[in-house]
Structure 1
Amino acid sequence: MKWYLDFGHGGKDPGAVGQKQTKESEIVLKIGLEVKNTLEQALEKVITTREDDKYYSLDYRSTKANKNNCDYFISIHMNSSTNKTAKGCEVWVYDKTSKLYNLANNLSTNISNKINTPNRGIKISKEFSVLRKTTMPALLIEIDFISNPLVENNLKSPKYIKDIADTISSTLLSFVNKSITNDDIFYRVCIGAFNDKNNAIKLKNKAISKGFKDTYITTK
C-alpha cells in the first residue's frame, strides 16, 4: 500500500499551542515521523507532506496525495479547546460510507486505551479540506487536547510520544493485515568465500570502504 501521512500545520502555522507554548505542529511531526519509519520497516510505501517545520497549504497536501496516487490519506493533529479540562481522542471521516470508517473507529479506541484518555469516537465532516479534496479514502486523527495542561505535560515524555506513534502504526498495519515486527534477531549476509585469505581481506576492505563498517572475516 501507499500511505500519505499528513502532519498538521508547520512553519508559520504552529496549529494549537498549549499553555506552556507546546506547538501542535512540532508534536505531530515527532509522532508522524515515527509512524512513517515503522510503516516503512513493514515495507509499506509512505509519502509525507513535510519532514521538517515548514508550512504547506491545505491544497498542497491534497494535491500532492492525489498526484502520487496514494491508497490512503492519514492526517495527524492535536485538538484544542477553550475548556482546559477537555480531553479525549477523536477521528474524523468525510461520511459514514468512508472505506476508512472502521479504521477510524479502531484508531480512536486504540489511542484512547493506550494513553488513557476518553474515546470521543468518530466524527463526520464534509468541511475539512483534506477529507473533501483527496481522491483516496481519508481520515483525520485528533490525538488529544494540547490545551489540557495534563496532556501537554505528557507530551514532553518520549515514551508517551512513542506509545502514540506505535499505536497509530500498529492500527494502520493491522488494517492491511500486517503487524509491527521487532524480534531482536540480527541477520548476517555473506558476500564471498575464498581459499586464499588475501582475497578475503581484499573483499573485506572493499566492503568497509563502501560503508559496511561491521564487515569481518570468519572461518568455517
Structure 2
Amino acid sequence: MTEAPSDSTRKASDLAATIGRVTALAERLGRRREAVLDPSTLHHASGVPVGVIGALLRGESAGEKDIQLRFLQRLELLHRTHLKANGRKYSQVEIATETGISRQQISALFNNERKPTMVHCSQIERFFRRPAGWLQSDDTDALHSALLQVEKSLLETLATAEDPSPSSESSIFETLGVERIALRAALLSSDRDRQKVVSWLDELLQEEKGGSAQQDNR
C-alpha cells in the first residue's frame, strides 16, 4: 500500500510546480526569472521574510513554525508599508478605530502580549486590504498564493499580447489559435466555466471532422 505524501511534501510539490509554470511563462514573455521571482516583491505580497522566500524558491525547507511570530512579522510589515495618503503610518489608535478592536487589544497585539483571534486577523486584514488568512498562513502557503497571483498576471499578459513570443516548441495548436483560447480559459474563475470552453471546443472539432469527412466522400 502506497503511503500518502505528508502535508509538507504536498505543499513543497505544489510550490515547485507553480514556480516552474511561472518561470516558463516569464521565459515566453522574454522576462528574466530574477525579475518575476524577485524576493523583495514577493515579500511584500506574501508577508514571508525575504530570506525564507529565497530558500523556498531554491527548493529548501524553510519557514517560521510559530504562528504567533508569523502574525507579528506580517503585522509589522503591514504597519510599515501600508501608509496613509500623507505617507505616514497609521497610529494604533487609528487602527483600533477602523478595525473595531479596542486600543488595549491592538497595543497588546503589536507588543506580542496576547495571541490574535480569528476575528482580530479578519478585521486587520480587511483594514489593510489583505486576503483572508494573510496574517497567519504557513509561509509556504503564503508564498504559493502570491505566486499564483504572479502566474495569473503573466497569463493575462500573454493572453492579450498582440504578438506573444513563440514558445520553443511551436505546434499546430498555436497556429490555429487554440493556445490563446486555452490561455483565456485558464483565467476563468470557476471549473464550470472552463468546462463550457472545453465542451465548445469538442463541438467545434466534431463539426470540423464532419466537414472533412464530407469533402473526402465527394
Q: Report the TM-score range of the alignment, normalised by the length of the smaller protein.
A: under 0.3
- The two structures have a TM-score, normalised by structure 1, of 0.26
Instruction: Identify, as 1 or 2, the structure richer in strand.
Output: 1
The structure that has the greater radius of gyration is 2
Instruction: Identify, as 1 or 2, the structure richer in helix.
Output: 2
- The two structures have a TM-score, normalised by structure 2, of 0.26
